[in-house]
Amino acid sequence: MNSQNEVPETFRALRVFKDAETVRAELQTLPLSELPDGDVLIRVSHSSLNYKDGLAVSGQPGVLRRYPMTPGIDLAGTVLTDDSGTYDAGDRVILTGWGIGERQDGGYAELARARPEWLVRQPGGTDATWAMSVGTAGFTAMLAVMALEEYGVEPGAGEVLVTGAAGGVGSTAIALLAAAGFTVTASTGRTEEETYLRGLGASNIISRDELPALTRPMEKERWAGVVDTVGGATLAGAYASTRSHGALAVCGLAGGSDLNTSVFPLILRGVGLLGIDSVTCPQPRREAAWARLARDLPASTLEQVTTVRGLSEVPELAPQILAGQVRGRTVVDVRR
């Protein structure tokens, strides 16, 4: 057997512990017996840093369902064994969602176990770094773009708004929409990122303060489509200003989970509110999204939005992503 396919006796993982007063993250070396149940054993090479991971590693409530736990809602690696017979040793796979890094130990470890139906084969011509540059953020952005297109939003229909534009989902959504021929307007609180956002394909930049200021039930029509990663008053303003028969793909709540608005855009303009759930997305749609990501989002495009950091650096990065100080995507090389 190739040494790369041998099953090690121990593995390194970033574990989050909770005691009476504190939550802490600590790198540990664990025996194989610490892994959760699952037919597929994976040698993980890369994960990524998402907003939800920042919450988990920083000890914020509401993400980790038990302690100790290994965070990391994304992973990419190589199959070592599969008791179900679905995958062969050496197959390269991607896992996002399905509660890993929340209910089950996730990607911040050198080994992981999973159910075969959770996995997607890595598209040909790509590698693990690319996969985690995409990660949950890029996968969610792709689902949002697909949902808008399926609703009938076309490139010639007008501007498509992306909120939280400098974040992971927002950055990828801009690149995907621009590649598909849409005119993209980026909403951001980071005005210093204008050059970066235009480089991704944004034609227009607006301040994030503009949307919450739109408080009437229906505002002047502007957006043919919206990819919203913020929620709250930002989503309400974007919804009120969406054009007739436009749609909003809603996939985040960085600005709040409340939605104080009215039904008028729904029933007087035919506006669609499209919920994007990347966690339990069915496998056929996952495969379609990843195939299109491989086509429309090559590694050369992702290089400008991606930083690679080591697993040992994650605890110091977690509060930074929560503070909105992380641009684009952060890939985590779990081997260092």
> What integer best gives the mean pLDDT of the chain?
94
Distance CA 180, CA 296 (A): 8
Per residue in 268-285, pLDDT (tens digit) is 999 999 999 999 999 999
Per-residue tokens: 86 = 């679905």
Average pLDDT over residues 104-126: 97
- Residue 124, beta-bridge partner list: none
pLDDT at 3: 61
What is the spatial distance between Cα 145 and Cα 224, in angstroms, rounded to a whole number?
12
- Please determine, for residue 204, whether its predicted confidence score (pLDDT) is greater than 50: yes
In this predicted structure, the answer to whether residue 94 has a pLDDT above a threshold of 90 is: yes
Q: Which residues pair with 100 in a beta bridge?
A: 104
Query: Is pLDDT above 80 for 4?
Result: no
Per residue, what are the HEC states of 203-215? Answer: EEEEECCCCCCCC
pLDDT for position 116: 96
Q: Is the pLDDT of residue 5 over 90?
A: no
Do 16 and 67 touch, CB atoms closer than 8 A? yes
Give mean pLDDT, residues 58-64.
Answer: 89
pTM of the entire structure?
Answer: 0.91
> Which domains are assigned to the chain?
3-122+300-333 (3.90.180.10), 136-275 (3.40.50.720)
What per-residue confidence (pLDDT) applies to 1?
40
User: What DSSP state is assigned to residue 36?
Assistant: -
Find the mean pLDDT for residues 248-271: 96
Chain centroid to Cα 127, Å, comes to 18
- Residue 237 pLDDT > 90, yes or no? yes
For the chain, percent of residues with pLDDT exceeding 70: 99
* Rounded average pLDDT over 244-251: 98
Contacts 24+ apart (CB under 8 A), 293-298: 293/123, 293/134, 293/138, 293/139, 293/142, 293/176, 294/123, 294/124, 294/125, 294/126, 296/176, 296/179, 296/180, 297/134, 297/138, 297/142, 297/172, 297/175, 297/176, 297/179
Sorting pLDDT into bands at 50, 70 and 90, what band is 327? Answer: confident
Q: Which two tokens mark 146?
A: 């697909």
pLDDT at residue 232, as a whole number? 97
pLDDT band for position 49 (cuts 50, 70, 90): very high
Which pLDDT score is estimated for 230?
96
Work out the burial of residue 259: count CB atoms within 10 Å of its CB; fewer than 13 is exposed, 13-18 middle, 19 or more buried. middle
At 218, the amino acid letter reads: M
List, for residues 301-315, the tens digit of each pLDDT value.
888 779 999 999 999
